[in-house]
Amino acid sequence: MTPKNQKGFSLVELLVVVIIIGIIAAIAIPSLLASRKAANQASAIANLRTIHSAEVTYQATTSGANFGSFAALSTTTNLLDSSFAASPVKKNTYTYTLTLGATPTVYCAMAKSSDTTAKDYGVGTDGTLYEGGNASATCAAGVLGGVTTVVGAS
């Protein structure tokens, strides 16, 4: 025999709570994904700035006009952290590559995203950061290609 004064939630009340949670999730998840994408892009830009600074320091401290590879910048001189020891480097959704020219007096570094909706970024010998469409950015023989917009330009 069950008592008449039962306490608890009815099925309808539980369904209303589940629907409300679903609505909140539908609103919050796209915003969270957009924030994560923006953070990955900001990280890529910061890493390329660090790579450029390391290249300039390497060139100045080795008494030469040549730039260094990821291995030279990370393991030989400790200008970059050890995660850059071998090229290509994968961090978050970005793959970083560093290309030296035939004579290493020019270089370019790329951050290409595996997310086809994200932007690719590049930096060259002059230190200017560029962004380009995901499939158009290239880095060959130390020269950037397919990146036309200067990062931070309005």
Whether 1 is in a domain gets the answer no
Q: What is the pLDDT of residues 36-73, one digit of tens each?
A: 999 999 999 999 999 999 999 998 888 677 888 899 89
| Domain annotation covers residue 93 | yes
**Two structure tokens written together for 130:** 């560029």
Query: What pTM value is reported for the model?
Result: 0.78
Q: Minimal CA–CA distance to 147: which of 129, 132, 134?
A: 132
For all residues of the chain together, what is the average pLDDT?
85
The set of residues, in sequence order, having a beta carbon less than 8 Å from that of 152 and lying 6+ positions away, is: 129
Is 15 part of a structural domain of the chain? yes
CA-wise closest residue to 109 among 52, 33, 26: 52
Residue 4 maps to a domain:
no
Query: Which two tokens mark 82?
Result: 């050890």
For residue 122, give its domain range.
Answer: 11-150
Report the distance separating Cα 123 and Cα 79, nearest Å.
17
Residue 3 lies in a domain: no
- Please write the tens of the pLDDT for every residue from 88-143: 899 888 999 998 887 778 898 999 888 888 888 889 888 888 887 666 677 777 77
Give the integer Cα–Cα distance in Å for 100 and 93: 23
Q: Residues 47, 50, 56, 58: what is their CA dihedral angle, to the nearest 10 degrees?
A: -100
Domain count, the chain: 1
pLDDT of amino acid 1: 54
Going by C-alpha positions, the residue among 127, 125, 126, 123 that lies closest to residue 147 is 123
